[in-house]
A and B are shown apart, each in its own frame.
With several copies, the nearest count.
Chain A
Amino acid sequence: MNRINQKLEEDKKLLSIYFTAGYPNINDTVTVIENLEKSGVDMIEIGLPFSDPLADGPTIQASSTKALHNGMTSERLFEQLKNVRKTVSIPLIIMGYFNPMLQYGVEEFCKKCQEVGIDGLIIPDLPVDVYHDNYKSIFEKYGLINVFLITPQTSEERIRYIDSISNGFIYMVSSASVTGSQSGFGDAQTEYFQRIANMKLKNPQIVGFGISNNETFMQATKYAKGAIIGSAFVKHLTNSGVEKVDDFVTSILT
C-alpha cells in the first residue's frame, strides 16, 4: 500500500509541508526533509523548481529561481533522494510543472520516482484529461499517486469526476489564487470547505494555499483531512535556515 494512502488512514489531521528542492542551498534538500519528519510533519511536497511557475506567488517563485541558480535539476534531485528512504518514512510527493517532466521523459521520470521512494506527484499544469488519456497507466505502473486540485470555482460535476480518477487525496485550493496570496480565511472559505465535506467524496481532501499559522491550519482542517503549508514555510527557511524547521512546525501545531 502506498505510503500516502496509509497516512491518510491515520486518525488525525495531517500537516503537509511544501518546500523547494535545492533551497536555500543546493544540498539542503534532504536535510529539510529529515528535519521536517523529525518535527512531526505528516507528509512532504518536494518542489521541483521551474523557471516559470505560473501557479505560484512571489515567495515560491523566488525560491525556485534561487534553486535553479543553485543548479537544481530533475537529475540532481533524484541523485539527492537516492538514499532518502534510509532515513525518512513519511510520504514524499514531488510537486512540479509538467515541462521538466516531459523533457526528462514522463515514464523515465516516474520510474526514477519509484526508485528513490517517491509516493506521488502534484503537477498543477497537467490537466486531468491529458493525464487520464496519456499518463495514468504509466503513473500506476510505477505506483505513483497523482494528486489533482480543486478550487472554489470547480463545478460539482467536475469534482466528482476528479474524485473518480483520484486514488489518494484531493488537493483543495482554499481560494482561487496563486500560492502565498491569502492571509486568513473568511466565510466564503468556510462555506466552501463545508460544501466539499458534504459531498462525501471517496478521496479525502487536503487544503492548500493560504495556510500560514496555527489558526489557519485549524480552520482548514476543521472540515478537511489535512492542510498543506508552502509559502509560509519557504519564508521561514529564507529567514531562519534549515536548522530551525522545528520552530516552524511547532508554531503551526500548537
Chain B
Amino acid sequence: MSYNINEKGYYGEFGGAYIPEMLYPNVEELRQNYLKIMAEPSFQEEFNALLKDYVGRPSPLYFAKRLSEKYNTKIYLKREDLNHTGAHKINNTIGQILMAKRLGKNRIIAETGAGQHGVATATVCALMGIECIVYMGEIDIARQAPNVARMKMLGATVIPALSGSRTLKDATNEAIRDWINNPVDTHYIIGSVVGPHPYPDMVAKFQAVVSEEIKSQLLEKEGTENPDYLVACVGGGSNAAGTYYHYLDNEDVNIIAIEAAGHGIDSGESAATSVLGKEGIIHGSKTLLMQTKDGQITEPYSISAGLDYPGVGPMHANLYKTGRAEFIAITDNEAMKAGLDLCKLEGIIPAIESSHALAVFEHKKFKPDDIVVLNLSGRGDKDLQNYIDYFKL
C-alpha cells in the first residue's frame, strides 16, 4: 500500500480536481507538464542551485539539547526557519516560479495566510522580475503586519480578501477568482498541498527536499536514516508533506500531524480538521474539511494565521483515514507556551504555526532513546506582536 498519489491524482479516495471549467485549461496544462518539467535536468539544476545559494539549503538538522533534556528524549529540529524569508514556503515558490517561467506565464497570483507564502511568492517574483499579486484575508493582514510590509517592499500588490472569515480560505477563493479572470498569462502559486490535482503533488514534491535532507543528516548524526517519529504542524499541510515525503511508505517511522485546536476542539473556535472535518470538496480537492451538515464550509479559528484553514491537503486526509499518521490537536494556549519555551530553552523564536508542533511534547511522552524529528517550519519574527501581547511582555 502506498501513501503517495496515484496516476489519477488521488491519495486513496482524496484529491482530484473539482474545478470550474474556466480553470480547466490552466490546471490541465499544468497537469500535463509538471512532471516532465520537473524532470528536466536544466530545471533540476536551476532549482537546486537556487535552493543552495539563494534559500540557504540544506537547512540544519539541529539537536536541541536543552529541549531534549527537558522532555527526556532526543529532539532534532529541522531548521526551515533559517531559509531565506523565514519558512519552508520558499522551497515551493522557487519550484513554482521556475515552473511558471517554463509555462510562459508572466503574471503570478498567490493566496496567503500567515503571509509567509505571500512573502515567499513576492520574493521569487522579484527575483525573476515577474508581476505578483497576493490575496490575503483582512484579518490576517492585521495580525501578520510585518509580512504585509515585506511583500510591499518586494513590490507585490497585496489585495485584502473581505469575504467570509477574511482569512486564508477566503484569500484562496479570491485567488481562484483572479485565476478564472486571467486564464492565459497567469500562474497561480498555491502555497500548500491543497487545491486541485496536480497542486498537492507538485507542492509536496518541491517540499520533499526536507525529508531528503533529514535522511542524510540523520544518518550522519545517528547512524540511521529513520527517526522514530516525525512531527509537523498541518495548516494545508505542505511542511508536513515535505517532512514525511520520503518516509511515507516506511512504516518504521511514525508520523505525527499537529492541528490547531484554537480555543479547544469543542469550543466552536477551532481549526482541527481531522477531528471536526468530514469528506467534501474545498478549493478543488476532495478531502477532509470542516463544514456544516449542510455542506457549507465552516469559518475556522486559530491564533495562528497559517493554520487557520478549514481543510487539509488530500495526502493528509488519507494519512488520517488510513491511520498512517497520528493526529493531535493543540490549543492556542498550549502552542503559545511551547513557543515561549523554545525561546527560553534554545534561543529560537518559532512561528506560531511551528509552536503548535512543539507542543507535542506536553501531549505525548516519548522514550529516552526515541529520535523525534520536528519540522520547525518558520521563524517567529512575523508573530512577535502576538507573542508580546499574549504574554504581556
Binding site for B on A (CB under 8 A): 50-55, 57-58, 61, 65, 68, 73-75, 97-104, 124-128, 130, 148-151, 153-155, 158, 173, 176-178, 181
Decide if B184 touches A57 in the complex (CB within 8 Å). Answer: no
Bound form: Cα–Cα A92–B292 in Å: 26
Decide if B294 touches A74 in the complex (CB within 8 Å). Answer: yes
Decide if B21 touches A149 in the complex (CB within 8 Å). Answer: yes
6 CB-based A-B contacts, threshold 8 Å = A52-B169, A54-B283, A100-B295, A125-B281, A127-B16, A127-B19
A52-B173, A154-B21 given; 4 more Cβ-contact pairs under 8 Å: A74-B294, A75-B294, A99-B295, A101-B295
Question: Which positions 244-289 of chain B face chain A at CB distance < 8 Å?
Answer: 278-284
The answer, among B20, B24, B293, for a CB contact under 8 Å with A54, is B20
Decide if A181 touches B181 in the complex (CB within 8 Å). Answer: yes
Given contacts A100-B296, A125-B18, contact A54 B176 (CB under 8 A): yes
Bound form: Cα–Cα A132–B146 in Å: 47
Bound form: Cα–Cα A51–B282 in Å: 11
Decide if A103 touches B291 in the complex (CB within 8 Å). Answer: yes
Given contacts A102-B280, A125-B20, A177-B181, contact A153 B295 (CB under 8 A): no
Bound form: Cα–Cα A50–B169 in Å: 14
Decide if B21 touches A173 in the complex (CB within 8 Å). Answer: yes
Q: Please, which residues of chain A bring their CB within 8 A of the CB of B279? A: 102
Bound form: Cα–Cα A153–B23 in Å: 9
Bound form: Cα–Cα A52–B177 in Å: 11
Q: How far is the CB of B140 from chain A (nearest CB, A)?
A: 16
Decide if B177 touches A178 in the complex (CB within 8 Å). Answer: yes
Given contacts A103-B280, A125-B19, contact A177 B180 (CB under 8 A): yes
Interface centre among A55, A100, A125, A173 (most CB of B within 10 A): A125
Decide if B164 touches A149 in the complex (CB within 8 Å). Answer: no
Q: How far is the CB of A101 from chain B (nearest CB, A)?
A: 7
Bound form: Cα–Cα A54–B280 in Å: 15
Decide if A130 touches B16 in the complex (CB within 8 Å). Answer: yes
Q: Please, which residues of chain B bring their CB within 8 A of the CB of A173? A: 21-22
Decide if B20 touches A149 in the complex (CB within 8 Å). Answer: yes
Binding site for A on B (CB under 8 A): 16-22, 24-25, 163-164, 169-170, 173, 176-177, 180-184, 278-284, 291, 293-297
Q: Please, which residues of chain B bring their CB within 8 A of the CB of A125? A: 18-20, 281, 284
Decide if B183 touches A153 in the complex (CB within 8 Å). Answer: yes
Decide if A52 touches B297 in the complex (CB within 8 Å). Answer: yes
Going nearest first, the 9 A-B pairs with the smallest beta carbon separation are A103-B295, A100-B295, A149-B21, A51-B296, A176-B183, A124-B20, A153-B25, A55-B20, A99-B281
Decide if B295 touches A102 in the complex (CB within 8 Å). Answer: yes
Decide if B22 touches A176 in the complex (CB within 8 Å). Answer: yes
Given contacts A54-B176, A151-B183, contact A124 B164 (CB under 8 A): no
Q: How far is the CB of A227 from chain B (nearest CB, A)?
A: 18
Q: How far is the CB of B273 from chain A (nearest CB, A)?
A: 14
Q: Please, which residues of chain B bring their CB within 8 A of the CB of A127? A: 16-19, 21, 24
Given contacts A55-B180, A178-B181, contact A103 B294 (CB under 8 A): yes
Q: Tell me the nearest residue of chain A to B27, going by C-beta.
A: A127
Decide if B18 touches A130 in the complex (CB within 8 Å). Answer: yes
Q: How far is the CB of B14 from chain A (nearest CB, A)?
A: 13
Q: Please, which residues of chain A bring their CB within 8 A of the CB of B283? A: 52, 54
Q: Please, which residues of chain A bring their CB within 8 A of the CB of B22? A: 55, 149, 151, 153, 173, 176-178
Decide if A99 touches B21 in the complex (CB within 8 Å). Answer: no
Q: Please, which residues of chain A bring their CB within 8 A of the CB of B170? A: 52
Bound form: Cα–Cα A58–B297 in Å: 18
Bound form: Cα–Cα A57–B169 in Å: 16
Q: Please, which residues of chain B bring their CB within 8 A of the CB of A97? A: 281
Interface centre among B18, B164, B176 (most CB of A within 10 A): B18
Q: Please, which residues of chain A bring their CB within 8 A of the CB of B17? A: 127
Q: How far is the CB of A34 from chain B (nearest CB, A)?
A: 26
Decide if A99 touches B20 in the complex (CB within 8 Å). Answer: no
Bound form: Cα–Cα A181–B18 in Å: 22
Q: Tell me the nearest residue of chain B to A182, going by C-beta.
A: B181
Decide if B181 touches A65 in the complex (CB within 8 Å). Answer: no
Q: How far is the CB of A192 from chain B (nearest CB, A)?
A: 13
Decide if A151 touches B21 in the complex (CB within 8 Å). Answer: yes
Q: Please, which residues of chain B bring their CB within 8 A of the CB of A54? A: 20, 173, 176-177, 180, 283
Decide if B297 touches A51 in the complex (CB within 8 Å). Answer: yes
Decide if A73 touches B280 in the complex (CB within 8 Å). Answer: no
Q: Please, which residues of chain B bring their CB within 8 A of the CB of A75? A: 294
